[in-house]
Structure 1
């Protein structure tokens, strides 16, 4: 998703999740990467009448090489990486 656009179907589905009223009005999609270059992206969803922010969609990269390295090493570091991703 870092190198290509998020497919419209996926974005529409995430927007529906975000504005549904469940949780904190945020939908997050995790996507795999093999690099540290991709960064988290946030798409704000605004009410077309009031222009107020009503929800957000988060695109969160997960570096699979880093996860593989951490799985075979210090589980505390892995736990920290996972918490960083999901918070």
Structure 2
């Protein structure tokens, strides 16, 4: 997820959480919606964390392969 899209998503989630108490939703429904919103935030954060970690691992492997290939002595005939 791009960072701007993430900011917009979290901004709207903040608006949702701010307005939820004023919507007149019964207590059990409100609790369910709060838990669903919290689960969505945690899942979205975890997915972003995994993508970032995977990108850094791939980047470090590419750098490691490049360093190993540069250290390999050339064969002279």
TM-score by length of structure 2 reads: 0.29
Which of 1 and 2 has greater Rg? 2
TM-score by length of structure 1 reads: 0.26
